[in-house]
Amino acid sequence: MKIAYTVEEVRKQVKAWRQEGLTVGLVPTMGYLHEGHASLMKKAVEQNDRVVTSVFVNPTQFGPTEDLEDYPRDFDQDCKLCDSLGVSLVFHPEPSEMYAPDFCTWVNMDVLSKTLCGKSRPIHFRGVCTVVSKLFNIVTPDRAYFGQKDAQQLAIIRRMVRDLNMDIEIVGCPIVREEDGLAKSSRNTYLNAEERKAALILSQSIFLGQKMAEEGETDAAKIKNAMVEKIQTEPLAKIDYVEVVDGLSMQPIEKIEGATLVAIAVYIGKTRLIDNFILQ
């Protein structure tokens, strides 16, 4: 497995692969890799001749009061995992490699990026769309892999690729959970023992809402209220949002009919965690 720190090194490697007629998959990550990331890389290795994993804590998707500085990092461990899964190249640029001091070109999305996480993180998806576009331009993959864990992000990337005619197949991968139900996340490391227990309220409320919907409940407000009540039983939990939205437009709906996303964001202490389920 190779490690590249510059755009030029990645371009050179991908060009060589292309000359051999090989296909390329991309897995964008912010590192501190866990089994959720591993599931994306496994799928990418299955479906492509070569896989590039990017490990980059992208500063432009963090708001001024968010956890950019504290975000967990362990690049050596990340490389070991990538290597063990058959990844061919890890791209690990410095922020200065990705953003020139006078950088001023952004990929901005309307509508989809204004709800859910976009409400409490107003510049987040501009940063995500911009960095993912840059990675797509640098790696020029055939396929790129994203987790359903970040369901709004996945919907936004799919829309960006469609709207801007990017010739890349977007592959969504299911949420990987801890044995007790908590969705795996690099941010789970922020939780102390008491908070880790309290964090179970997210998956418990998700499973409750999912059960109601699967048993035929179509009233979005009833599902939402039941989930809110469940979360409120946990004293350490503070709700950012509990929403039932259309699976494509990310706009709130009243009645569940077609593809629907039920998504939550909850603070456990200072740590903001997200979870969701999808109804087709």
* Residue in 185, 203, 271, 276 binding ligand AMP, rule: CB under 6 A: 185
Closest C-alpha to 129, from 28, 24, 5: 28
Q: Looking at 5-13, 41-49, 172-180, 219-227, which segment touches ligand AMP (CB under 6 A)?
A: 172-180
- The residues that are catalytic are 37
* Residue in 175, 231, 237, 245 binding ligand AMP, rule: CB under 6 A: 175
The secondary structure of the chain in percent helix, strand, coil, rounded to multiples of 5, reads: 45, 20, 35
Alpha-carbon distance of 147 to 259, in angstroms, equals: 17
Tokens 């204004």 correspond to what residue? 114
Alpha-carbon distance of 148 to 108, in angstroms, equals: 21
Phi, psi of 156 (to 5 degrees): -70, -45
Nearer Cβ to ligand AMP, position 10 or 155?
155
Min separation Cβ 243 and ligand AMP, Å: 18
User: Is there binding between residue 183 and ligand AMP (CB under 6 A)?
Assistant: yes
Nearer Cβ to ligand AMP, position 150 or 234?
150
Q: Looking at 91-99, 119-127, 159-167, 178-186, which segment touches ligand AMP (CB under 6 A)?
A: 178-186
Q: How many residues bind ligand AMP (CB under 6 A)?
A: 17
User: Is there binding between residue 186 and ligand AMP (CB under 6 A)?
Assistant: yes
DSSP string, 77-119: HHHHHHHHHT--EEE---HHHHS-TT--------GGGTSTHHH
Min separation Cβ 39 and ligand AMP, Å: 6
Residues 130 to 159 in contact with ligand AMP, rule: CB under 6 A: 146-147, 149-150
3-state secondary structure of 190: helix
Alpha-carbon distance of 173 to 193, in angstroms, equals: 29
Extract the tokens encoding 133: 């576009």
Nearer Cβ to ligand AMP, position 51 or 173?
173
Min separation Cβ 219 and ligand AMP, Å: 29
User: Is there binding between residue 250 and ligand AMP (CB under 6 A)?
Assistant: no
Contact 236, 273 (CB under 8 A): no
Cβ within 8 Å of residue 211, ≥6 positions away: none
Residues 3 to 42 in contact with ligand AMP, rule: CB under 6 A: 29-30, 36-37, 39-40
User: Is there binding between residue 57 and ligand AMP (CB under 6 A)?
Assistant: no
User: Is there binding between residue 173 and ligand AMP (CB under 6 A)?
Assistant: yes
Residues lying near ligand AMP in the complex (CB under 6 A) are found at 29-30, 36-37, 39-40, 146-147, 149-150, 173, 175-176, 183-186
